[in-house]
Each structure stands twice: as structure tokens, then as C-alpha cells.
Amino acid sequence: MAWHLQPAAGMLVPSRLARGPFLPQRPLCDLFSASLSFSDEDHAENIRRAGAIALIAGRSGITSICALISPLRRERDAVRAMAESKGIRFLEVHVCTPLEVCEARDVKGLYKKARAGLIPKFTGIDSPYEPPLKPDGVVLTEQFTIEEAVERIYRVVIGTARLKG
């Protein structure tokens, strides 16, 4: 199971990850978490559910890439513990995008709305983002094309690289 992290950066990189089993946040929310709100508890539950789906796939030998906004370490650590307790390999790839780049890429205007107070608890604006302490890979998206960033993520996932940058 590969956990791809990105604080709401317009999801440019995740949209290109669909080479294989890929669990993007929006369809997961729509299908499995429609009843959840934006509360901290419900956000953690959404991440737990995504991890459970990836775990089911992992038990069948399928590697899943989960592209979720996972701002808190405790949430990521809980999914890691769940995977490792079942003997499933968990990789954390930090797709690092500076806040100003996220805002520049924001085609939906969500950051502007969050800054205006229209979207409360928005990651990176009025809700915290805790970068991973020891990710298995880091992809600095402002340094690469989308295709190059996707390739770097796959290199970490298939085990050919431990990237930093």
C-alpha cells in the first residue's frame, strides 16, 4: 500500500497516477464517506476507510496508491499500523507542494474561498498540515513536470528508488 500525501494541491499529480490500482480521494468520499462531514473525527474516519480498502486489496496481492489529503501524522500512522499488523507493506510518499504553488494551481478557487472564511478547516489555511518525518520518498512537485513527478512516485512504489526531492 502506498500512501501518497499532498495538501490539496489541485490534485494534478494524482490525476495522472491511474496506471494501476489507485484510490483517489474524491471518488472514495463520494462512494464510502458521503455521510461524513469536514470535522476532524470524520476526516480521520475517511482516511481509515481508504486505508481499509487498500488493505483489502493488499491482502490479495494488489498494490494500491492512495492519493489523499492526510494532514495529520496520527492518521497516517494509524493506517500504517493497520497495514503492518496484517503484514502489508506501507510506503509513505510525500508529494510536497508549497502552499503558494497549491494556491496558484487551484482551478476550483478553493483556497480563495478558504482564505475568505467560506471553507472552514481547510488544510494549510486554518487547519494544520504535518509533513511526514521519515517518508519513503519525497517528490517536490514544483521541480518536475506532472509526468516526471508521477514517474518518481512509481519508482518509490515499485522499489527502485528512495527519493528525496
Q: Catalytic amino acids?
A: 70
* CB-CB contact of 129 with 7 (8 Å): yes
Return the H-helix or E-strand segment holding 71.
none
CA distance 165 to 163: 6
Q: How far is it, in rounded angstroms, from Cα 41 to Cα 36?
A: 9
Residue 30: helix, strand or coil by DSSP? helix
Cα–Cα distance for residue pair 65/123, rounded to 1 Å: 21
Please report which helix (H) or strand (E) contains residue 4, including its range.
Answer: strand 2-5
- 3-class SS at 106? coil
